[in-house]
C-alpha cells in the first residue's frame, strides 16, 4: 500500500497475512495440503469414533430395555437408586447424590462462575456485553424470575458465538483487500482492533476465546434443561426441589422451617 492508504508501520505490515507471503485461497475454506494425510484427519476420525461409540451405547440401552420390558429412568443419572432422602444418610450416599445431581443443585452458580471466567479471560468489548448480561440476570434475584429470562440468555450466547466465529474467519485474503479500519482515514490502532475483536490480517482475533464462550453456552444449555426438570413432579420427588427459603425468614427460627435435621446442635 502507498503512504496515504494505511497508517500501519512497516514492521506491523510485515506480519500481515496479505504481505507476509503468498496466499493460498484453499486455506480460507479449511483445506490445507498435508502429509501424511492420516495425521491431518486423526482428530476428525477420533470425533467420528466417539460419536459412533455414543450411539452404540444408547442403542444398546434402548434394545435392552425393550427386550426386558424395562422403562427408562426419569433422570439420566449414574446411581438410579439414590434420591434426595439418601443425601444425609452417610458420606458415601452423599457423594453418590452429588455425582448424580450436582448440576441440578448448583448448575446456576456454575454458570455464573463461568460467566465471570469469560469476562476475566477476554477483557474486551464482548466481555463487557457478557458483564451486562450477568448483571441483568443477577438483578432478577429470584430463581423463578431467572428461569423466565434464561432462554433469552441461551439464545444470546448461541448467536454471539456464531457471530464471533464468522469474525474469526473474516473475508478471504486472496483478493488482497484490507479492512476499512486499516485505511489511512481510520483512527484505529492494533489495540483498539484487538479490544473490539474485529477481523484483521495483522492482529487476528484470538479463536481461543470461543472455547470459553462455548463452555458457558454448554453449561447454560444444561441449566435450561434443569429449569425444565424442576417443573416435573417425578424429578422433584427423586432429586428434591430447588425452592428458595424466604429471604425474610428470622434466623432464630430457621431450624423450625428447615426440613433437614440439625446434626451439629442435635445434642
61-72 tens-digit pLDDT: 899 989 998 888
- Is there a contact between 200 and 182 (Cβ–Cβ < 8 Å)? yes
Residue 245: the pLDDT is 67
Residue 177: the pLDDT is 83
Could you state, in order of their start, the residue ranges of all structural domains in the chain? 32-72, 81-243
Residue 206 pLDDT exceeds 60: yes
Residue 247: the pLDDT is 56
Q: Residues 69-84: what's their mean pLDDT? A: 82
pTM: 0.81
Secondary structure of residue 244 in the 3-state scheme: coil
Q: Residues 40-66: what's their mean pLDDT? A: 93
Beta-carbon count within 10 A of 238 CB: 20
SS3 content of the chain, % helix, strand, coil (to 5): 60, 0, 40
- Which cell is 85 given? 432422602
Q: Residues 35-58: what's their mean pLDDT? A: 91
- Is there a contact between 209 and 101 (Cβ–Cβ < 8 Å)? no
Q: Residues 238-252: what's their mean pLDDT? A: 69
Nearest alpha-carbon partner for 105 in 1, 206, 243: 243
Task: Convert the pLDDT of each residue in 149-195 to its tens digit.
Answer: 999 999 999 999 999 999 999 888 888 788 888 876 777 788 888 99
Residue 207 pLDDT exceeds 60: yes
Q: Chain-centre distance of CA 216, in angstroms?
A: 2
Q: Residues 69-78: what's their mean pLDDT? A: 82
- Is there a contact between 216 and 114 (Cβ–Cβ < 8 Å)? yes
- Which cell is 16 given? 500481515
Residue 258: the pLDDT is 64
Give the Cα separation of 96 and 140 in Å (integer). Answer: 32
- Is there a contact between 56 and 67 (Cβ–Cβ < 8 Å)? no
DSSP 252: T
Which has the higher per-residue pLDDT, 100 or 75?
Answer: 100
Beta-carbon count within 10 A of 111 CB: 26
Amino acid at each position: 500500500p502507498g503512504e496515504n492508504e494505511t497508517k500501519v508501520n512497516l514492521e506491523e505490515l510485515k506480519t500481515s497475512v496479505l504481505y507476509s507471503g503468498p496466499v493460498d485461497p484453499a486455506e480460507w475454506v479449511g483445506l490445507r495440503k498435508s502429509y501424511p494425510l492420516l495425521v491431518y484427519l486423526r482428530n476428525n476420525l477420533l470425533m467420528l469414533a466417539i460419536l459412533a461409540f455414543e450411539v452404540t451405547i444408547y442403542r444398546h440401552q434402548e434394545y435392552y430395555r425393550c427386550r426386558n420390558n424395562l422403562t427408562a429412568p426419569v433422570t439420566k443419572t449414574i446411581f438410579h437408586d439414590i434420591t434426595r432422602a439418601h443425601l444425609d444418610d452417610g458420606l458415601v450416599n452423599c457423594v453418590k447424590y452429588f455425582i448424580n445431581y450436582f448440576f441440578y443443585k448448583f448448575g446456576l452458580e456454575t454458570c455464573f462462575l463461568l460467566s465471570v471466567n469469560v469476562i476475566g479471560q477476554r477483557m474486551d468489548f464482548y466481555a463487557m456485553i457478557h458483564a451486562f448480561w450477568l448483571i441483568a440476570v443477577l438483578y432478577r434475584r429470584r430463581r423463578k424470575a431467572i428461569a423466565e429470562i434464561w432462554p433469552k440468555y441461551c439464545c444470546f450466547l448461541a448467536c454471539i458465538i456464531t457471530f464471533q466465529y464468522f469474525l474469526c474467519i473474516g473475508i478471504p485474503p486472496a483478493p488482497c483487500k484490507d479492512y476499512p479500519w486499516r485505511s489511512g482515514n481510520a483512527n484505529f490502532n492494533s489495540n483498539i482492533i484487538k479490544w473490539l475483536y474485529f477481523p484483521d490480517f495483522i492482529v487476528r482475533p484470538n479463536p481461543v476465546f470461543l472455547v470459553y464462550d462455548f463452555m458457558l453456552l454448554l453449561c447454560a444449555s444444561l441449566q435450561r434443561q434443569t429449569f425444565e426438570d424442576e417443573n416435573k413432579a417425578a424429578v422433584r420427588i427423586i432429586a428434591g426441589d430447588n425452592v428458595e427459603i424466604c429471604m425474610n425468614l428470622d434466623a432464630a427460627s430457621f431450624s423450625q422451617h428447615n426440613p433437614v435435621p440439625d446434626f451439629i446442635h442435635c445434642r
